[in-house]
Copies of this chain bind each other. A is one copy, B any other.
Amino acid sequence: MSKLVNPHGGGELKPLMLEGAALTAEKEKAVDLPKVNVSSREAGDIIMMGIGGFTPLDGFMTHADWEGVCDGMKMAHGSHKDLFWPIPITLSTDTKTAEILKEGDEVALFDAARDEILATMIVTEKYLIDKAHECMQVYKTTDIEHPGVEMVMAQGDVNLAGPIKVLSLAEFPQEYGEQFMTPAQSRAQFEKRSWSTIAAFQTRNPMHRSHEYLAKIAIETLDGVLIHSLLGKLKPGDIPADVRSEAIETLIDNYFVDNTVMQAGYPLDMRYAGPREALLHALFRQNYGCSHLIVGRDHAGVGDYYGPFDAHHIFDEIPADALETQPIKIDWTFWCYRCDGMASMRTCPHDAEDRLLLSGTKLRKALSEGEEVAGNFSRPEVLAVLRKYYASLKDDEKTEVKLSGHSAR
């Protein structure tokens, strides 16, 4: 039987979360270490390293690695030299904190929002970066309106590099239960199901028929699909994770064949880096054991910063051996009345007016105001779950939901 794709880098999964006595001891020690505050993005990266999602990273990147990743998408150092990596994974702090730290110091990485130490780190390097250079290389823009650029610009001026030991996965294991699956767990599930070809379907939202169609294209030719939801920070107006999960589960129960689909979530903030983030999405899906990633139109994009197919093309531009996990490139999908079925721009030759297209904003408005939504757009069972959620919102929350205007994925 064929086997699963290898973890990135070709070795074993490398979860940096401590366990047992080592965890207890490190936690005790951490309390007395100097604290370095981490942002939401950095916290997500720590937890991903904790569960092995960023295998084979040992911690936050050095200046040479930062530069290698920005400029050539590869690591510069030691055992990871020349390893493909598309987006810098860095930790920043303010100048004042940096000044009192010296190389070799051990620090506690503290998440103020959660009031919790997530990890310890040995500082091996303090360095300054040209933030605008990172933004241009990774985000292709320095426009401060871009949410990823905004994060880079808002971060501290000094980067700290070093190996980390992860002490906590924050609220994820408890809040999301089985939904919060580590790469080792998803791999075990795939093996139990005798799957070896698996497409990850990335989502932040409930699945309508266009998303069901994307997943089913993959199921027609692969062993299964992992519907892999973002459990990191949501935007205002996004459906909460439990409602999303219920809506997806309902879809699976009613419209998918047993043992062709699994649902799970991962703990990471969106960077909205478009093509570079599509590569990161494929990379960590490889760690989860997925042989393929469904890459739609404007994957991980925001606004008009990227061409609709930039995230497709970038997979042709990286070295053939950069990733084992391969993209399944699919264009917009929709119901077409003349096709009398679901289709994409690749398979439907008809006109825009033959197609049922509904913006996320219009859908939210219809759901929160109890209007009809076409069954060709979304399954009735899914709509029922979403209607129940919108009905439970207070009026002022509905208003906020209606005002937030981000698109479906």
Contacts and interface: CB of A to CB of B under 8 A. Distances in A.
Contact of A341 (B330, B342, B346): B342
A376 B341 CA distance: 10
A340 interface: yes
A254 B345 CA distance: 14
30 contacts: A216-B343, A216-B347, A217-B217, A217-B220, A217-B221, A219-B346, A219-B347, A220-B330, A220-B344, A220-B346, A220-B347, A221-B221, A221-B328, A221-B329, A221-B330, A254-B349, A255-B339, A255-B349, A256-B347, A256-B349, A257-B345, A257-B346, A257-B347, A257-B348, A257-B349, A258-B349, A260-B346, A260-B347, A340-B376, A341-B342
Contacts of A344: 220
Contacts of A341: 341-342
Contacts of A349: 254-258
Copies in the complex: 2
A14 B342 CA distance: 42
A236 interface: no
A176 to B, nearest CB: 26
Contacts of A216: 343, 347
A220 B346 CA distance: 6
Contacts of A342: 341
A10 interface: no
5 tightest Cβ-Cβ pairs between the two chains A and B? A216-B347, A257-B349, A341-B341, A217-B220, A219-B347
Interface string A105-143: 000000000000000000000000000000000000000
A343 B256 CA distance: 10
Contacts of A219: 346-347
